[in-house]
């Protein structure tokens, strides 16, 4: 609060109210996968059980974008082949390009494309297909870069944010997205402490901001988190 006082309090008529600490659930997965040049990579993935997205780097809390939709539609391994192909090509590609890239029979490709369209994962514009997402971010290494180790455990009476996804849903979507060589060795549910800082405005209205207690940076939870 002191570090961001000038940012949060515009003048002396704006005042801090009592802050609170919320704990957001994440799934920590110990994984292995195939790197380039046929080498095996081992690491961990941190995946949100509230927003359904993977954390790419704990220092910045950069996240993927698009896995939430894939979880909601129960995207399969075959559908992810189309999704990943489009993602690798900037989010859109024509049918001939997809066919050459995936190297599958036309009737199989049509089945996969039709399935993705029915689930609103892709849309068709003429002979071009594109991901039905704004600024998708799905082409990532299946490993979270841990700049801070996560050791905090919420106390018995801590304010825990309710999970929206089951661990099994996260595991299934990760396996579908990252291919046959991806394996989850073990999982652990952990909690990220997030400060809820409330500022009372001169008109008695309130503004709430959230701050990642791990790296001290602004945290953007789902819009309907109280």
Instruction: Look at residue 119 in the predicted model and tell me its pLDDT.
Output: 96
Average pLDDT estimate for 126-154: 86
* SS3 per-residue string spanning the chain: CCCCHHHHCCCCCCEECCCEEEEEEEEEEEEEEECHHHCEEEEEEEEECCCCCEEEECCCCEECECHHHHHHCCCCHHHHHHHHHHHHCCCEEEHHHHHHHHCCCHHHHHHHHHHHHHCCCEEEECCEEEECCCCCECCCCCCCECCCCCCCCCCCCCEECCCCCCHHHHHHHHHHHHCCCCEEEEEEEEEEEEEEEEEECCCCCEEEEEEECCCCCEECCCCCCC
Instruction: Look at residue 89 in the predicted model and tell me its pLDDT.
Output: 92
pLDDT level of residue 157 (50, 70, 90 thresholds): low
Q: What integer best gives the mean pLDDT of the chain?
A: 91
Average pLDDT estimate for 17-43: 90
Instruction: Look at residue 83 in the predicted model and tell me its pLDDT.
Output: 96
Instruction: Look at residue 211 in the predicted model and tell me its pLDDT.
Output: 92
For the segment 83-139, what is each residue's pLDDT rounded down to a tens digit?
999 999 999 999 999 999 999 999 999 999 999 999 999 999 988 999 999 889 999
What pTM value is reported for the model? Answer: 0.88
Instruction: Look at residue 223 in the predicted model and tell me its pLDDT.
Output: 67
């Amino acid at each position: 609060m002191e570090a961001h006082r000038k940012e949060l309090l515009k003048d002396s008529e704006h005042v801090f109210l009592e802050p609170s600490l919320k704990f957001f659930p994440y799934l920590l997965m110990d994984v292995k996968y195939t790197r380039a040049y046929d080498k095996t990579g081992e690491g961990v993935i941190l995946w949100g059980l509230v927003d359904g997205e993977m954390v790419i780097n704990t220092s910045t809390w950069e996240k993927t974008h698009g896995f939430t939709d894939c979880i909601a539609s129960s995207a399969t391994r075959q559908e992810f082949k189309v999704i990943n192909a489009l993602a690798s090509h900037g989010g859109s590609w024509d049918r001939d390009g997809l066919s050459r890239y995936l190297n599958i029979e036309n009737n199989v490709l049509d089945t996969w494309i039709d399935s993705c369209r029915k689930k609103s994962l892709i849309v068709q514009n003429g002979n071009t297909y594109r991901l039905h997402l704004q600024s998708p971010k799905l082409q990532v290494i299946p490993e979270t870069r841990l700049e801070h180790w996560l050791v905090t455990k919420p106390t018995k009476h801590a304010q825990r944010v309710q999970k929206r996804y089951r661990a099994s849903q996260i595991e299934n979507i990760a396996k579908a997205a990252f291919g046959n060589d991806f394996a989850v060795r073990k999982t652990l549910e952990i909690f990220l402490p997030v400060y809820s800082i409330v500022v009372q405005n001169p008109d008695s209205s309130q503004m709430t901001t959230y701050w990642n207690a791990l790296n001290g940076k602004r945290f953007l939870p789902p819009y309907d988190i109280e």
